[in-house]
Chains A and B, each alone.
Chain A
Amino acid sequence: MKVSGFNKIFEGIKNRWIVFRECIKYNLQIELAYPASNWGSILSTLFYSLALIFFIEVVYLNVTNVVGYDRNQMLLMFLVGQSSFYICWSTWYKGIEELPQDISNGRFDLILTKPLDSKFYTSVHKARIFVIFREGILPMTILSSIIDWKGLNLEPLNILVGIVISILGMISFHNLMIITVIPSFWFGRIESLHRVMYNMYDLTTEKVPLEGFPDVFKIVFTYFFPLLFITGYSSSVILEKSSRYSALILAIVITIIFQILARRLWKYAIKNYTSASS
């Protein structure tokens, strides 16, 4: 590859990083403006995690394992699920969630006027990394402290591959959500569609381990709605219940396919976009 090609890629990454950083700074000011809301959010996520832990404890009072996952392993699965939630929620989720609204009230036009990749900017302009610290640290710490780490006998390589699979899963989820909100360009308000996708994400990452899915649904949530990589495959690999390399290769392939698909559909949507305000 020529040097100018490398420079272009490097410039692109650098510009994206600058935009991302400024979005975080700006949103941080908004978040800190309402201290009572911050305390409310901390309480809310703390109680959610406590409710989740209570739920697992009560289930395991009545059963010894759930599709081969004992209490400890299930807690690890929840930890992976919760970590991915906070990462997605604090980086791109809000921006994509509000896109249908932005399209219908004309705010999306302002995004298009900027000399930036519109897909990237739509995703990150509501990034709030502060949320991870405000809402995520305490519940994650509590969850981590009740897991018997020694009892899990985890291998470092499996942990690393599991984390990579989870990150690829989050990227696929991001692309899936973009595909889900794209119909808003034509049909206007279509919030229910992204809510369906969010509920599917919520339920595939927190309720049922990978091995609990019937084969048909495993196929659907791997190849058509790639939500199982975020928690299902990643925690299964970390716990040595699935082959790490085949899961990794599958995750890479699916992520690339959905990245290309989302990019193409986005470009098509922008080309056909007729602004609400002009």
Chain B
Amino acid sequence: MKKYFKILKFSFLNQLAYPLDFIISIINLTVIAFFVTLFWRIIQGQSDIGITSITGYFLVTNGISNVFMIHTQKFGSTLRKTIKSGDLNNYIIKPINVVLALYFETLGKRIVEVTVGTIFIIIGINIIDPVSIQSLILFIIACASAMLLGISLNLFEGVLTFYTTEPDGIMNVVSHIAKIASGLWIPLTFFPNSLRSVVEYSPFAGMLFVPYSTLDSSISQSKVVSMLLVSFGWAILTLLILNVYWKKGIKKYEGIGI
């Protein structure tokens, strides 16, 4: 693992060459969080959602999305560009796991987003009604599941790139569905009951809504645990399937010079 952390470090140091870009990234994330919170504060004035919980909800979910690069899809974008440009050659010939290497490299480039996302999560948790130790432990476990599902979503883009010349269209479709079904745009508690029971057990809910639900005392513990187990199941299943197709894709891959 040491070599991957070194990759992360070098990638991060690369970003410091453009300090202004660095600072403006922080402003960018804050602007997005502000507008989303503003819209929902208007909505909460006409519904029975408590003001603290809606602000806390969007801070936590946006934070998780940024930390694990779920809806920003930076990792997927890195995979796509690396495969299309042929730079994948440089990774294949080295004694490293290609996916892990690119993941840590992307993480290094996105360290600002990860840091700001973590701050959003901490502020969000503090805003939500008192959170028990048990909830926090469940939250951390749910974040692990969210991370794996985020990696799956991004890896899907990489796998698609092996099989199509332009995966953008399909990825954008999946991304729009994911943004709705994960609760990034709108809390799943707003959905009609019939739809909600389906979406809550989808792989997308495990990305954002399930981690948040561990902190929300209005959702029963048994339901949270069942959603958590299902999301872990989805994470393992999707990663297994994508791993198979990634290996097939690498065999299929033709790079100049190899």
A residues with CB within 8 A of B: 34, 36-37, 39-44, 47-48, 50-51, 54-55, 58-59, 61-67, 183, 187-193, 195-196, 199-200, 203-204, 207-208, 212-214, 217
Measured CB to CB, the nearest residue on chain B to A38 is B169
Q: What mask results when residues 181 to 223 of chain B are scored 1 for a CB within 8 Å of chain A, else 0? A: 0000110001110000000000000000000000000000000
Tell me if B43 and A63 are in contact (CB < 8 A).
yes
Tell me if A208 and B169 are in contact (CB < 8 A).
no
Q: Closest CB of chain A to B161's CB: distance in Å?
A: 13
Q: What mask results when residues 28 to 67 of chain B are scored 1 for a CB within 8 Å of chain A, else 0? A: 1001100110110011001100000000000000000000
Main SS class of interface, A:
helix
Measured CB to CB, the nearest residue on chain A to B46 is A63
A-B contact pairs, 12 of them (CB 8 A): A34-B166, A43-B170, A44-B172, A47-B177, A51-B185, A59-B43, A63-B46, A188-B18, A191-B21, A192-B25, A195-B24, A217-B38
Tell me if A190 and B21 are in contact (CB < 8 A).
yes
Main SS class of interface, B:
helix
- Out of A64, A190, A199, name the residue touching B28 (CB < 8 Å): A199
With a cutoff of 8 Å between Cβ atoms, the chain B residues found around residue A39 in the complex are 169
Tell me if A207 and B35 are in contact (CB < 8 A).
yes
User: A40-B168, A63-B46 in contact; A190/B173 too (CB < 8 A)?
Assistant: no
Interface residues of B in 143-171 (CB under 8 A from A): 164-170
With a cutoff of 8 Å between Cβ atoms, the chain B residues found around residue A188 in the complex are 18
CA gap between A62 and B47 in the complex, in Å = 7
Starting from the known contacts A41-B168, A59-B186, A192-B25, 6 additional A-B residue pairs (CB-CB under 8 Å) come to: A50-B176, A55-B186, A61-B190, A196-B28, A199-B28, A208-B42
User: A40-B168, A208-B39 in contact; A51/B176 too (CB < 8 A)?
Assistant: yes
Measured CB to CB, the nearest residue on chain B to A34 is B166
Measured CB to CB, the nearest residue on chain B to A41 is B169
CA gap between A36 and B165 in the complex, in Å = 8
- Out of A37, A42, A61, A196, name the residue touching B24 (CB < 8 Å): A196
- Cβ of B27 within 8 Å of any chain A Cβ, yes or no, is yes
User: A62-B47, A192-B24, A199-B31 in contact; A44/B173 too (CB < 8 A)?
Assistant: yes
